[in-house]
Copies of this chain bind each other. A is one copy, B any other.
Amino acid sequence: VRTLKLTIAYDGTNFAGWQRQTTERTVQATIEDAIRPIEGERVVLTGAGRTDAGVHAAGQAASLTLKSAIGASELQRALNATLPDDVRIVDIDERPPQFNARFDARRKTYHYLLWSGGILPPSLRHHAWHVPQRLDLATMNAAAEILVGTHDFAAFQAAGSDVQTTVRELVTSRIARLPSGPTVAIGDRLMRYEVTGSGFLRHMVRNIVGTLVDAGRGRLTPEDVRAILASRDRGRASATAPPHGLTLWTVEYETDAEATPSATNAESSSQTA
């Protein structure tokens, strides 16, 4: 029995999220079902984190124990040949038996795309939240920076969540304009919020984005955002941003040589694991 780590990219548009459900099409079930004929029996993937319906991934991670002796590269090729084209295995490498993609994850990075004002290009309609107003970048960044550090993020947790602690550490929380993109003439309307942390509460990134957008609209000041954080009261933060702007960008582990998803260069990186 070996333990493998899979790095996975998906377009979440036509998935009901990561986690297997009884009837809906999910990423976990789609990949597990593709591995089953190779392993000869049912397998269970442990994802680094669950993503909701409509949320995308460039570098989701999952662990898996396998009896089959199939090579990692061969498994990757076999899976990509059978999987639908909205999910790709970008890397597979061998890990020690105790490796668990969920519990060993050290940091995660999410990206959230916003389109501010104007007309949303059709090619971004499933990947960016179209906010009709012009957003003030400096105000949003001042608010975003307040969240860096170790805080109780209860105000940004989904209602009804039940976790032991709502304290999390963010090491990066910033927003920037993106100057250009391959499918659209972007002008200065596309913005990306980038957040890296030790862990995230349910809907935390989307609740933060909803609040930052209200700051960018002039409805909240950065000091209001500081007060919302301190209140630990979900009722004070803004509405949850829609899922389709969100991408799970990378999951980092102690053993990772590098953190960026150059995982798309899979042939080479899967050799060096």
Q: Which residues of A approach B to under 8 Å, CB–CB?
A: 9-11, 56, 58-59, 80, 85-90, 113, 117-125, 127-128, 178, 181-187, 189-190, 192, 247, 249, 260-267
Cα A120 to Cα B11 in complex, Å, equals 12
> What are the residues of chain B within 8 A of A181 when measuring CB–CB?
181-182
Could you jot down 13 A-B contacts, CB within 8 Å? Answer: A9-B119, A10-B122, A85-B120, A86-B122, A86-B125, A87-B122, A88-B120, A88-B121, A90-B119, A124-B182, A178-B182, A181-B181, A187-B264
Contact call A183/B262, Cβ cutoff below 8 A = no
> Which residues of chain B are within 8 angstroms of A264 by Cβ–Cβ distance?
118-119, 121, 184-187, 189
- Stoichiometry (number of copies): 2
Q: A9-B122, A119-B9, A122-B11 are in contact. Are A127 and B86 (CB under 8 A)?
A: no
B185 adjacent to A247 (CB under 8 Å): no
Q: Shortest beta-carbon distance, A177 to chain B, in Å?
A: 11
Closest chain B CB from A243 CB (angstroms): 14
Is the Cβ of B9 less than 8 Å from the Cβ of A113? no
Closest to A8 in B: B122
Please state if A183 and B125 are interface contacts (CB–CB under 8 Å). no
Instruction: Identify the closest chain B residue to A127 (Cβ).
Output: B183
A87 to B122, CA, bound (A): 6
Lowest 9 CB-CB distances: which A-B pairs, in order? Answer: A11-B122, A185-B261, A86-B122, A85-B125, A181-B182, A88-B119, A90-B119, A127-B183, A11-B123
